[in-house]
Structure 1
Amino acid sequence: MKIFQILFLFLLLVPFAEIYLLLAVGGIIGAFPTIALVVFTAVLGAWLLKQQGFQTFRRFQENLAQGSIPTYEIIEGPILLIGGALLLTPGFITDLLGFACLFPPLRRKVAQYIIEKHLIQVIQSGSPFRPQGAAPADALEGEFRKED
């Protein structure tokens, strides 16, 4: 299955599952406790996102100060952004996925997977914009004008 098909199914099915789960939990504990729980997870998620974001940025700056490339931190930043967006979305499934994005060991494993499976292939094969099997760009660029 292609990534766009998976994303489409995710965006289609998750809201239905979220509504069902919110109604089921609301039926068990009541409407106001359910709303309070959703608001609490959003506030807790925002606070954790702030903490994790500052820690990642601090490690980013430390790596730059040491002269090394902050590879993991560059990948972890968007993971934190996705996690924050999921935590601010009302619902329990998105909160679970958002908290998973904020969990440092899991986030590091996801970043490691992305680096090893996707970025290293791009580096080894050259530019991602050059067609597969195309010759390296050794040509000089310039203008040509034929004068008689």
Structure 2
Amino acid sequence: MSRFWLVVAALLGGAVLEIAVLWWLADTIGAGWTLLVLVISAVVGVLLFRREGVRTFASLLQAPPEPDQIGQRVTDTFLVMLGGLLLLLPGLISDVLGLMCLVPFTRAIARRGVQALVGQLTRPYRDRADLIDLHLRPDTVVPGQTVSGESTGNGGGATAADDRTHRPRPDDPTVIRGEIEP
């Protein structure tokens, strides 16, 4: 099943779940009270969206040029916009999710989830970008020579003792990336 159909199935399942919850609530407390709950959640959500939207947009505009801070503020702005959109949709589940995106202390939890998801989705592209960056930067080429493994002993090549002393330890965090040029 392709991603498109998974998204369509998730949206349809969410809509059916919203209707079921509203039906259950109307059956439990009555249709009038259910309508009142929906109206109150919409009003509170719009007021909260207005307040948090202004705050996040202002913090985004005044963001220092640090990439970590800018990424966090862009994610917060996205979550506030998503929260406002979810509050516009009728239903209790979407209202709860929208409020979670708008309230600052629950937004931090949602931010970590969104950043992890975006990180997973963009990982192959970031790896390719790193390789392209390595190819374009001239300072990544390290001049050296190839020593044949056959010349051990007195022939002037590397000895087994040299090989042991230059081999990195298992706990050594040094990683050398590159490619062998002819």
TM-score (norm 2): 0.59
Once the two structures are TM-superposed, the CA of residue 26 in structure 1 deviates from its matched residue by 0.8
Question: Who is 1:123 aligned against?
Answer: 126
The 8 Å contact of residues 76 and 111 in structure 1, kept in 2 or not, is answered as no
Question: Who is 2:62 aligned against?
Answer: 62
The 8 Å contact of residues 86 and 97 in structure 2, kept in 1 or not, is answered as yes
Q: Is 1:33 equivalent to 2:33 in the alignment?
A: yes
Q: Deviations over 1:22-75 (max 9, x none)?
A: 111111111111001011111111111122222212221231xx3334112223
**Structure 1 residues 1-148: aligned runs within 5 Å:** 2-63=2-63, 66-69=64-67, 70-102=70-102, 103-114=106-117, 116-119=119-122, 121-126=124-129
Taking the aligned partners of 1:29 and 1:87, their CA distance within structure 2 comes to 22
* Pair member with larger Rg: 2
Q: Tell me the SS of whatever aligns to 1:14.
A: helix
Taking the aligned partners of 1:114 and 1:52, their CA distance within structure 2 comes to 23
Structure 1 unaligned spans of 5+: 128-132, 138-148
Residues 46 and 114 (structure 1), Cα distance of their counterparts in 2 relative to 1, 3 Å cut: same
Taking the aligned partners of 1:120 and 1:62, their CA distance within structure 2 comes to 29
The 8 Å contact of residues 38 and 90 in structure 1, kept in 2 or not, is answered as yes
- Greater shift, 90-99 or 2-11, is seen at 2-11
Q: Deviations over 1:11-30 (max 9, x none)?
A: 21122221221111111111
Taking the aligned partners of 1:48 and 1:32, their CA distance within structure 2 comes to 24
Aligned pairs, number:
128
Taking the aligned partners of 1:38 and 1:8, their CA distance within structure 2 comes to 25
Larger RCO of the pair (alpha carbons < 8 Å, separation 6+): 1
Residues 27 and 84 (structure 1), Cα distance of their counterparts in 2 relative to 1, 3 Å cut: same
The 8 Å contact of residues 79 and 111 in structure 2, kept in 1 or not, is answered as no
